[in-house]
Structure 1
Amino acid sequence: MDTSVRPQRIDSEALRLWPLPPLDDGADKEARGRIVVIAGSREIPGAAVLAATAALRVGAGKLVIATGLSVAGPMAFALPEARVIALPETAAGGFEANGAELLETALEAAHAVVIGPGLMDADATCAFVQRLLPLLRGRCVVLDALAMDCVAAVGRFPEPVLLTPHAGEMAHLTQADKDEVLADPLSAAVRAARTWNAVVAVKGPVTAIAAPDGRSWLHEGGNCGLATSGSGDTLAGAIGGIAARGATLEQACAWGVLLHAQAGERLARQVGPVGYLAREIAREMVAVLRRLEGGEGLTPTPPAPTGR
């Protein structure tokens, strides 16, 4: 590990000292933020459901899902809380690049955008994401799964976005050896963050997060049950939902990683170390979020003087 890097540890106490932007009881759905989830395909439609559900569970106020034309109708019934935009598809199941124009109005109103869960057709996805980038200025953008492949073509983002690779994906994106990434995820994240002008979260038993300016964070926790199909989609959606509420990318990522890990720990106690499903994680995130924001089980903050 690069000894010049001094990461901050992510745990419950650290996040208590890094609170999310407050939501008062009078907050309407606009105040809670708008999120656009661009996800799902004819073979993996559930990834959009998982990501979008997590975004709502952590508090995002308004949800738009953009998905393939072939699954848009069923998606609208699966998530009645969402507006669903149908995108034209390639023969291989990706999105046509010109479909980006259909999202212009929704993106203008969005606070956060998640792109990637369940997408297909790598070449089409890369072209689609590149077409989207000019429409994403000023938004909190989370690139996950196949959408991250666009980094090879973009090289360096004009504005920081968040990438969420696991070790295998990080090795693919950087042409590094997977074992080297696993051995030192922090250094891999720091190098990539500086190179790409991005916040990079290398996911694993130890999750390393790095910002372009060199700041970094480490989280250790969770369990092997989180290594299940759809788990990463849920995490990406949760990060996007937290960003929609007004958090910065790095704060949203830190909170999302901890919520995801502690939700997994709760499910492991209820179900077992393996066997719980990704669709169950978002529900448990609600309980973890309530505890963290309410301060249950944490060091209490002394009350403010009343002046009496």
Structure 2
Amino acid sequence: MTIEIDAGALRGRPLPDPAGGSKEARGSALVIAGSVEVPGAAILAGTAALRAGAGKLQMSIAAGTAPHAALAVPEALVVRLPEGDDGHVDHGRAAAVLLPRTERAAAVLIGAGMASGEPTKALTAALLAGPAEAPFLLDAASIDGLCENGDLVRARAGRVVLTPHAGEMARCLGCERDAVEADPLGAARQAADQLGAVVVMKGAETWIVDPAGETWHYAGGGAGLATSGSGDVLAGIIVGLLARGTTPAEAAAWGVFLHGEAGRRLGESCGPIGFLARELPGEVPGLMRDVAEGAI
């Protein structure tokens, strides 16, 4: 059976109650994201995690861009990661900095806006192999070649969420992008089964499959969501919900809905295309309230 994601379905799976809780109770999200070319990915994802209700935020980014990220998101603790001569993160030394922080985090995001290639793969593998019990969200470059390290994901027993688009899914499964686009649900099921992870197969419509085979479907929030940085926001929303203690599958479903409906609302107020990814997180708190109160 496929669950259609709408407000009614999510009201039956409420988010953890924040009433009276401290910021520690709502969890700390660790966002490892961005690169010298795309430092804004960490800002978008980190802001979205806070808007989704995470109590605390740590953003980890290359040392050269860290001060700018700290000014852009003054609510965050910003971790300066060692970088090489090219300005990119030195992933060998970065792992030593990040491993202790993953142990203290309530949820960890890796990959948004990071450079593709072996260094990001190596860092992802090192952190997945670490002792942290927190759920992980893997996005963008951290998904590339992931099936090569499938045992690391499976060892986390369903506590990993993947958020690929068609190209990233094709690189993960080792197939052609056209094959994924022809059967996105089939690709999501294959990856969920192979990796034992919750898979969010992004596209004009979104499919979510968990390791037990439960399937969710969201029809889409409109064409305006196909814009630069939108995927970083989705990843941030989901990791923020994970930090609050939401289960991986339900965090994925809620995150997809909140992201999509934020796009729908901006489409109504701004126009169907042309709104910016940075505007999406601001819609999220009101959407969570409206779902809880039955206003939508």
TM-score (norm 2): 0.94
SS in 2 for 1:137: coil
Cα distance in structure 1, aligned partners of 2:131 and 2:237: 19
Q: Is this contact kept in 2: 1:95–1:125, CA < 8 A?
A: no
Partner of 2:289: 290
* Pairing 1:1-308 to 2, within 5 Å after superposition: 6-24=1-19, 26-92=20-86, 93-135=88-130, 137-156=132-151, 157=153, 158-159=155-156, 160=158, 161-297=160-296
Cα distance in structure 2, aligned partners of 1:241 and 1:88: 25
Moved more, 168-177 or 106-115: 168-177
Cα distance in structure 2, aligned partners of 1:121 and 1:62: 28
Which residue identity lines up with residue 132 of structure 1 in the other structure? Answer: L
Q: Is this contact kept in 2: 1:130–1:150, CA < 8 A?
A: no
Cα distance in structure 1, aligned partners of 2:131 and 2:258: 26
Cα distance in structure 2, aligned partners of 1:135 and 1:294: 40
Percent of matched pairs sharing the same residue: 46
Moved more, 182-191 or 243-252: 182-191
Cα distance in structure 2, aligned partners of 1:152 and 1:213: 18
Cα distance in structure 1, aligned partners of 2:106 and 2:145: 22
SS in 2 for 1:37: strand
Q: What's the CA shift for 1:83?
A: 0.7
SS in 2 for 1:195: helix
Q: Rg bigger for which structure?
A: 1
Cα distance in structure 1, aligned partners of 2:264 and 2:9: 18
Cα distance in structure 2, aligned partners of 1:195 and 1:137: 22
Gaps of 5+ in 2: none
Q: Is this contact kept in 2: 1:34–1:60, CA < 8 A?
A: yes
Q: What's the CA shift for 1:294?
A: 2.2
Which residue identity lines up with residue 63 of structure 2 in the other structure? Answer: L
Q: What's the CA shift for 1:190?
A: 0.8
Q: Is this contact kept in 2: 1:98–1:128, CA < 8 A?
A: no
Which residue identity lines up with residue 110 of structure 1 in the other structure? Answer: A
Cα distance in structure 2, aligned partners of 1:124 and 1:130: 10
Gaps of 5+ in 1: 1-5, 298-308
Cα distance in structure 2, aligned partners of 1:222 and 1:177: 26
Cα distance in structure 2, aligned partners of 1:48 and 1:252: 20
Q: Is this contact kept in 1: 2:31–2:46, CA < 8 A?
A: yes
Question: CA RMSD of the aligned region, Å?
Answer: 1.4
Q: What's the CA shift for 1:121?
A: 4.4
Cα distance in structure 2, aligned partners of 1:223 and 1:121: 28
